[in-house]
DNA sequence: CTGAAAGCGCTAACAC
DNA sequence: GTGTTAGCGCTTTCAG
């Protein structure tokens, strides 16, 4: 089975014109008489002619589509980013092809190779938690494939980048816990190779330092798969809770980590915030109905997606090679709820 | 800027062969000598040759990509379905292009037209809440575009369909409330034009009937935009709560409606389940950490996506027109949590 | 103002 | 076993 559509040739035949005349007429060229144009347009509309985008792509060497690689769609942060990507792409008449790395380095490589080789005009990427080397992307970038990074970025490729103000977000989240009177604040975060991990860690450290609290290495727990593997989070949490100077608060660094931590605490019947407080990065639309409602550092996910797409399309459509690259840092928002409030 | 890649022609030139020889060698044709094949393969590998998928598509008249139209990605049910679609598509070497209707009829039409006209080989669709007529899809289907419906389906197009057992899911959810001792059970649901609305309503009614409870029209509240517009849900809820024989339980029919209802009840400081119990269709991965944890009718979203994709690819790759269509009905699961438990 | 023809990268008859 | 050629649908010189 295949889908049959009307082509320029069909129109030409029906109207006793040449294909080139029809082609020009359809695109409103000045060299075609008004009358001919009218005929052609009328016939095209009537028969619902749509140019074959594949043929156009082959001709132009551009596919009018952009590829997206995120770790996982099933995550409020990334789905909101994709929402943003989609809206801008649609408006500029680009298709969006979404792929997931599932935090796997292998799959990230496979996806990037699949998406490249002419089938997309550019790439929007957030690195997987497992990714430590970006040679696969450097190779594509060197060959001229435009790309924009967001959220989990790399310094090794010179191109546009869009991130939230991770330092500030983490700083504010941690400072809030300090202000509430918590003193032993743990930090559960992702793979140490991710840019966001470092930035958020720095914000956390600074907030402690500014409050005169000493930073304790033992309170930092890494989850190399960013919460995709529940056991990692379980393990991190268990270790924290077994310490003799057990933390009185936790600051989690990502969407999945935040919800998983809350879920695990609940299973262990540990009361939040009475026994341990919690603040986390999350874009969950349900943070207000969690038990307890979750104090959240929220990223402007939609805007990040929109901006990344704008920047990518600029790169794709640039007449001359772009040499000045932007690193856009958008503000986060701290939404204070019950999970971080000091019991009176 | 555009992405330059090596072509068959380049290989042919370098090896002093013809393009057809190279083409055949690359696909391991028997008519090519082992030696030539070896040379060609070696050169291709070395220079990282990848066939241009656009040219292949144009040639074959197939794009090896499938289009998806869902109302919204930012929703645990749909993102999980997409996860399923993606996994099967990837495995069978198809690209997935995801679009969102945002529950808008207009956008559904625009998306379906955009995706068709040869740029995708088939469509996987869940209808928007606003959609009452499916002429736009009938037109495409009649032209030979394979499509598979899931979740929100239509009877007007003869093709494969994949749904959850909405009747049974709603029946079990409602019966559970009855068993817990609730008697005035309201039902907040989506647009009356959606198949899922009807099926779930029937399950709800049957459960009441089997329990000897009389069905009350006034306890049914429709949200024509399926929860996308918060005010609709707000309105529905307010009306229910102001009744003099106010419901003692609510059964919500979709992901968004369930979380929005819970959120609104919390804002109004109405205790769940003490003042009103709640059971809802939802695939939220966080239902266990809601306040209270939410009793959920869960759909096998991943499997639905996988199955729909399998069926679609069968249609696309069928040698002869398919005339026997399947309607696959997958089981739902009732996860009982606190929101529906009768206070002792 | 209109048409013929080349070519985007690839495949597949059909020659040789 | 290898090469020539036509053609997928479209755009774009270049002639007429």
Rounded average pLDDT over A30-34: 91
User: What's the CA A114/C1' D12 distance, rounded, in angstroms?
Assistant: 31
Contact A1 B86 (CB under 8 A): no
Contact B113 A79 (CB under 8 A): no
**Which residue in the set A116, A144, A259 is minimally distant from B2, CB to CB?**
A144
Name the pairing type of β-strands A333-335 and A295-298: antiparallel
Q: Is A1 a residue whose pLDDT tops 60?
A: no
Contact B53 A117 (CB under 8 A): yes
User: What's the CA A50/C1' C1 distance, rounded, in angstroms?
Assistant: 25
Contact B100 A121 (CB under 8 A): no
**What's the confidence (pLDDT) of residue A247?**
97
Q: Which CATH number fits domain B166-299+334-340: 3.40.50.880, 2.60.40.10, 3.40.50.2300, 3.40.50.720?
A: 3.40.50.2300
> Over the stretch A304-340, which tens digit does the pLDDT of each residue have?
999 999 999 999 998 788 999 999 999 999 999 999 9
Q: Mind telling me how many Å the CA of A97 is from chain B's nearest CA?
A: 5
User: What's the CA A295/C1' D9 distance, rounded, in angstroms?
Assistant: 56
Q: Does domain B56-163+301-331 have CATH number 3.90.550.10?
A: no
Contact B266 A259 (CB under 8 A): no
Quick check: A137 contacting B, CB < 8 Å? no
**What's the confidence (pLDDT) of residue A118?**
64
Contact B316 A289 (CB under 8 A): no
Contact A113 B143 (CB under 8 A): no
Q: Which residue of A has its CA nearest to B302?
A: A74
Each residue's pLDDT tens digit in chain B (344 positions)? 456 678 999 999 999 999 989 999 998 888 899 989 998 999 999 988 888 888 998 898 888 899 999 999 889 999 999 999 999 998 998 988 888 999 999 999 988 988 886 678 999 999 999 999 999 999 999 988 999 999 999 999 999 999 999 999 999 999 999 999 999 999 999 999 999 999 999 999 999 999 999 999 999 999 999 888 999 999 999 999 999 999 999 999 999 999 999 999 999 999 999 999 999 999 999 999 999 999 999 999 999 999 999 999 999 998 788 999 999 999 999 999 999 999 76
Q: Mind telling me how many Å the CA of B344 is from chain A's nearest CA?
A: 21
Q: Is there a shared CATH topology between the B56-163+301-331 domain and the B166-299+334-340 domain?
A: yes
Q: Which residue of A has its CA nearest to B115?
A: A95
User: What's the CA A92/C1' D5 distance, rounded, in angstroms?
Assistant: 39
Q: Which runs of E-coded beta strand occur in B138-209?
A: 147-150, 161-164, 185-189
The overall average pLDDT reported for chain A is 94
Residues of B in Cβ contact (< 8 Å) with A95: 97, 119
Distance of CA B103 to the CA centre of its chain: 13
Distance of CA A338 to the CA centre of its chain: 28
Of all nucleotides, the one whose C1′ comes closest to residue B58's CA is D8
Spell out which residues of A between 28 and 67 contact strand C, using CB within 7 Å.
30-36, 55, 58-59, 61
Q: Mind telling me how many Å the CA of B108 is from chain A's nearest CA?
A: 13
Distance of alpha carbon A79 from alpha carbon A71, whole angstroms? 11
CA proximity to A243, closest of A171, A185, A192: A185
**What's the confidence (pLDDT) of residue B28?**
86
Contact A73 B62 (CB under 8 A): no
Distance of alpha carbon A82 from alpha carbon A100, whole angstroms? 12
> Over the stretch A3-29, which tens digit does the pLDDT of each residue have?
667 899 999 999 999 999 999 999 988
- Enter the tokens of residue A62: 């551009």
- Strand C bases near protein CB (under 7 Å) are 1-13
User: What's the CA B39/C1' D10 distance, rounded, in angstroms?
Assistant: 34
> Over the stretch A214-254, which tens digit does the pLDDT of each residue have?
999 999 999 999 888 999 999 999 999 999 999 999 999 99
Contact A95 B119 (CB under 8 A): yes
Quick check: B289 contacting A, CB < 8 Å? yes
CA proximity to A285, closest of A272, A267, A298: A298
Of all nucleotides, the one whose C1′ comes closest to residue B21's CA is D2
Where are chain A's structural domains?
8-50, 56-163+301-331, 166-299+334-340
Distance of alpha carbon A150 from alpha carbon A153, whole angstroms? 6
> Over the stretch B113-167, which tens digit does the pLDDT of each residue have?
888 866 789 999 999 999 999 999 999 999 889 999 999 999 999 999 999 999 9
CA proximity to B84, closest of B330, B333, B336: B330
Q: Which of B107, B139, B286 to mutate to test the interface with A (most CBs of A within 10 A)?
A: B286
Give the confidence band of A2 by pLDDT, cuts at 50, 70, 90.
low
User: Is the entire prediction scored with pTM above 0.85?
Assistant: yes
Beta-sheet strand order (sheet of A95-100):
A327-330, A161-164, A147-150, A122-125, A65-70, A95-100, B95-100, B65-70, B122-125, B147-150, B161-164, B327-330
Asked, as a colleague might, if the bond just before B144 is cis with ω within 30 of 0, I would say no
**What's the confidence (pLDDT) of residue B1?**
47
Distance of alpha carbon B34 from alpha carbon B49, whole angstroms? 19
Quick check: B302 contacting A, CB < 8 Å? no
| Higher pLDDT, residue A302 or A114 | A302
- Strand D bases near protein CB (under 7 Å) are 1-13
User: What's the CA A57/C1' C16 distance, rounded, in angstroms?
Assistant: 35
> Over the stretch A145-184, which tens digit does the pLDDT of each residue have?
999 999 999 999 999 999 999 999 999 999 999 999 999 9
**Which residue in the set A289, A316, A318 is minimally distant from B262, CB to CB?**
A289
Q: Mind telling me how many Å the CA of B175 is from chain A's nearest CA?
A: 25
Q: What are phi and psi of B147, to 5 degrees?
A: -145, 150
Measure Cα distances from A326 to A108, A159, A169, A317, B132 in Å: 24, 7, 20, 16, 46
Of all nucleotides, the one whose C1′ comes closest to residue A59's CA is C8
């Amino acid at each position: 089975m295949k889908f049959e559509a009307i082509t320029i040739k069909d129109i030409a035949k029906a109207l006793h014109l040449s294909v080139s005349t029809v082609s020009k007429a359809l695109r409103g060229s000045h060299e075609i008489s008004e009358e001919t144009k009218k005929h052609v347009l009328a016939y095209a509309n009537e028969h619902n002619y749509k140019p074959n985008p594949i043929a156009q792509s082959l001709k132009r060497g551009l596919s009018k589509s952009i590829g997206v690689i995120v770790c996982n769609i099933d995550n409020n942060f990334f789905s909101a980013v994709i929402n943003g990507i989609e809206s801008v792409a649609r408006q500029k008449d680009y298709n969006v092809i979404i792929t997931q790395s599932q935090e796997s380095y292998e799959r990230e490589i496979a996806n990037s190779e699949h998406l490249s080789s002419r089938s997309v005009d550019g790439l929007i990427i957030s690195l997987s938690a497992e990714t430590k080397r970006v040679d696969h992307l450097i190779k594509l970038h060197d060959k001229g494939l435009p790309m924009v990074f967001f959220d989990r970025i790399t310094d090794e490729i010179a191109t546009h980048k869009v991130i939230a103000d991770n330092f500030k977000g983490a700083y504010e989240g941690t400072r809030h816990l300090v202000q509430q009177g918590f003193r032993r604040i743990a930090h559960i975060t992702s793979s140490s190779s991710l840019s966001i991990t470092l930035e958020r860690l720095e914000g956390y450290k600074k907030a402690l330092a500014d409050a005169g609290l000493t930073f304790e290495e033992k309170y930092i727990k890494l989850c190399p798969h960013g919460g995709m593997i529940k056991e990692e989070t379980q393990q991190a949490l268990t270790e924290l809770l077994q310490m003799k100077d057990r933390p009185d608060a936790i600051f989690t660094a990502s969407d999945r980590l935040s919800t998983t931590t809350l879920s695990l605490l609940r299973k262990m019947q540990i009361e939040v915030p009475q026994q341990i407080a919690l603040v986390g990065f999350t874009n969950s639309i349900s943070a207000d109905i969690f038990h307890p409602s979750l104090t959240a550092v929220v990223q402007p996910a939609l805007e990040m997606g929109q901006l990344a797409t704008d920047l990518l399309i600029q790169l794709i459509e640039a007449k001359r090679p772009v040499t000045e690259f932007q690193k856009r840092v958008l503000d986060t928002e701290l939404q204070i709820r019950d999970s971080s409030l000091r019991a009176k």
